[in-house]
Chain A
Amino acid sequence: MVATTGTGTTRVAADSWQGYVLLLTRLLLGWWMLHAGLEKFAYLWDAGARPFAASQWLLAGTTAAPGWLHGFLAWVGHTPLLLAFTNVAIPVGEVLIGLGVLLGAFTRLASFCGAFLAAIFYLSSVGFAGTYVTGELLRVVLFAQLIVFGAGRIRGVDALLERTALVEHRPWLRALLG
C-alpha cells in the first residue's frame, strides 16, 4: 500500500483505498483552486462580470489580520506596481495551481504555491473566525498532504513525467513532481 520513494517521501499505491482517497482529495482541491481562478476571469465571457481587483481585499478585507500583515498588504494595495502585479498574479496563480493539481502535473510545486496562497488568505482574515480554523487553513493542510504523499503520481501527469529522459537526467526535478 505505502512505500518509501528514493527521495524519502511516502508513495501511496494508486489502486489502494488510500490512493483513491488521495486522488479524490487532489481532484476536489484542484477544482476548488481552478474555479477560484476562472471566476476572476469571468469578465472575458460574462458582460456583467468585472475584472478582479485586489485593492478592495488588500485595503479593507485584511483588517482582521495581525497588524504586521495588514500593514504589509495595505502597503501593497497602495503601491501601484505591486497592486498591478497582485491583480494578475492571484487569478493566474490560482488557474495554474488548479490545473497543476487537477491534472497531477508538477503537483508538489503547484501544491506548495497553493499552500502559500491559502496561508496568505487565511492569515489576512484570521481574526474573523472565532476558532481561528477556517477553510483556508484546512486548504493549507490538504495541500501539505498532497505534497507528502506524492499525490501527482496517482493517475496524474507526474507519473508519466517522472519516466521521461528530462527527469531521469535531472533527478532534482522529482522534488517538484509527484
Chain B
Amino acid sequence: MTRHTRPLDRLVMWLGGALVLLGTAGLGLVGTFVGERAWLSVDVRGTLVALGLVVLACYAVYRFVADERTSTRR
C-alpha cells in the first residue's frame, strides 16, 4: 500500500514508535516488577514519549513534502 522501501523511512518509523512504546509499555512493564525508581520518573518516561511523538510528527511533515515533490516531478 504505502511505500516504506527506503531504509531511512523504516528507521525513523521504528525509532518514533519504539520511543513511544518504551516510554509507555516498556518502562511500565519494568516498573510493575521493580517498583518506583528515579529512572522511571515522569521526566524520563514522559520525555521518551514526547521524543517519539516529535520524531513521528517530523516524519509526517517530511513524507508529505517529499511525496509532493515526487508527484510534481512525474
Q: Which residues of A are at the interface with B, using a C-beta cutoff of 8 A? A: 2-4, 6-10, 64-69, 108, 112, 115-116, 119, 123, 126-127, 130-133, 137, 140, 144, 147-148, 171-172, 174-175
Contact B53 A140 (CB under 8 A): yes
- Chain B interface mostly: helix
**Contact of B1 with A144 in the complex, beta carbons under 8 Å:** no
Binding site for A on B (CB under 8 A): 1-3, 23-25, 28, 42-43, 45-47, 49-50, 53, 56-57, 60, 63-65, 67-68, 70-72, 74
Separation in Å of the B40 CB from the closest CB of chain A? 10
Cβ contact within 8 Å between B42 and A2? no
B18 to chain A, nearest CB (A): 15
Question: A123 touching B50 by the CB < 8 A rule?
Answer: yes
In the complex the two chains form, what is the Cα distance from A177 to B68 in whole Å? 13
* Residue contact A9 to B2, C-beta cutoff 8 Å: yes
- A4, A68, A175: the one within 8 Å of B64 (CB): A175
**Sample of 16 more A-B contacts, CB < 8 Å, known A6-B74, A66-B42, A67-B43:** A3-B1, A6-B71, A8-B3, A8-B71, A10-B1, A10-B2, A112-B60, A123-B50, A126-B46, A132-B24, A132-B45, A132-B49, A140-B53, A144-B56, A147-B60, A172-B68
Chain B residues whose C-beta falls within 8 Å of the C-beta of A172 in the assembled complex:
68, 72
Supply 27 A–B pairs (Cβ within 8 Å), ascending by A: A7-B71, A8-B3, A8-B63, A8-B67, A8-B70, A66-B47, A66-B50, A69-B46, A112-B57, A119-B53, A126-B49, A127-B42, A127-B46, A132-B23, A132-B28, A132-B46, A132-B49, A133-B25, A137-B24, A137-B49, A140-B53, A147-B60, A171-B71, A171-B72, A172-B68, A172-B72, A174-B68
Given A9-B67, A132-B28, A171-B71, the answer on whether A123 and B1 have CB atoms closer than 8 Å is: no
Q: Is the CB of B57 within 8 A of A116?
A: yes
**Partner pick for A126 among B1, B2, B25, B45, CB 8 A cutoff:** B45
Partner of B68, one of A7, A66, A130: A7
Complex formed: what's the CA distance from A8 to B60 in Å? 12
Contact partners of B56 in chain A: CB under 8 A: 144
Q: A112-B60, A132-B28 are in contact. Are A126 and B68 (CB under 8 A)?
A: no
